[in-house]
């Protein structure tokens, strides 16, 4: 009996040492976090990546592996601000993340843009954050204590913005790439009048449903980030039809920009 107990203790100690070493190595290794809202926004990346394992956290799959020589974690968090912020928060809490790249599609807002143009966010704003009273909707800024802001806008990392812009120019050509404000809200915009409001009130270049919420979490965790969007529609009355025709192409374009960026990132 005594020999059996000694053997059990030895095995337990050995397992403890092995587990401890694994945890230390995992902590030393940092990953680039790549997040999207939909499957067609990361399909290209998953096909190119060498995935070592897939962790499922709260129903969301996190694909861990390498992509163009970089250690990455790729996830589709889901559509909308709540799912996006939940997905990126879970990523930060579970893995050591060095930076975040958001890839996907958006609706065009700027007058000089067109479908399949690329918008690299310099900053993001929540266009649906505010108060609805008898007088209508009044926009309010978010938490005034959040840093890395200009007024009420969440700023992307200038270095990542430059990398993304350069990569986008190589992929689609300079005439198809824009830098600017991306407006985030929990609505699919298909209204010419609301597009005009986004131009007038926020100087927006594009609109989508996740970017600003991811930006807030990245700022809170002190991690650099950038949001890259290819336009699948012009957020007008034809937005749904345009998305059906160009959504997959637009998602793939943003993924190819991510791939090009990874060649230049020193992580």
Catalytic residue numbers, as ranges = 41, 233
* Token duo for residue 184: 């985030």
| 72 contacts 66 by C-beta, under 8 angstroms | yes
| N- to C-terminal Cα separation, the chain | 53
User: Beta strands 31-36 and 97-108: pairing type?
Assistant: parallel
Helix H segments across the chain? 2-28, 43-48, 81-94, 158-172, 192-202, 211-221, 239-262
Residue holding tokens 């709260």? 58
CA dihedral 182, 230, 176, 163 (to 10 degrees): 70
Q: What are residue 28's phi and psi, to 5 degrees?
A: -75, -25
Picking from 220, 221, 219, 245, the residue whose alpha carbon sits closest to that of residue 231 is 245
* Token duo for residue 254: 């943003």
| 190 contacts 239 by C-beta, under 8 angstroms | yes
* Token duo for residue 221: 């965790």
Helix, strand, coil percentages for the chain (3-state, nearest 5):
45, 30, 25
């Amino acid at each position: 009996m005594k020999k059996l107990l000694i053997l059990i203790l030895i095995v337990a100690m050995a397992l403890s040492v092995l587990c401890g070493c694994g945890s230390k190595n995992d902590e030393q290794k940092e990953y680039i976090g790549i997040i999207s809202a939909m499957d067609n926004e990361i399909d290209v990346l998953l096909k190119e990546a060498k995935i070592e394992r897939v962790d499922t956290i709260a129903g969301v799959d996190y694909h861990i592996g390498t992509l163009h020589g970089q250690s990455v974690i790729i996830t589709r968090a889901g559509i909308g601000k709540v799912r996006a912020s939940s997905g990126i928060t879970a990523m930060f809490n579970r893995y050591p993340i060095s930076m975040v790249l958001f890839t996907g599609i958006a609706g065009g807002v700027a007058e000089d843009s067109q479908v399949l143009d690329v918008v690299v966010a310099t900053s993001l704003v929540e266009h649906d954050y505010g108060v609805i009273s008898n007088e209508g909707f009044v926009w309010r800024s978010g938490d005034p204590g959040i840093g890395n802001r200009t007024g009420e806008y969440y700023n992307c990392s200038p270095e990542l913005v430059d990398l993304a812009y350069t990569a986008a120019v190589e992929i689609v050509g300079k005439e198809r790439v824009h830098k600017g404000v991306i407006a985030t809200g929990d609505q699919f915009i298909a209204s010419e009048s609301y597009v005009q409001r986004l131009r007038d009130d926020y100087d927006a270049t594009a609109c989508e449903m996740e970017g600003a919420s991811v930006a807030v979490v990245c700022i809170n965790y002190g991690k650099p980030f950038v949001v890259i969007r290819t336009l699948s529609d012009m957020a007008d009355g034809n937005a749904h039809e345009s998305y059906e025709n160009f959504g997959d192409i637009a998602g793939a374009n943003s993924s190819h920009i991510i791939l090009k960026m990874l060649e230049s990132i020193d992580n």
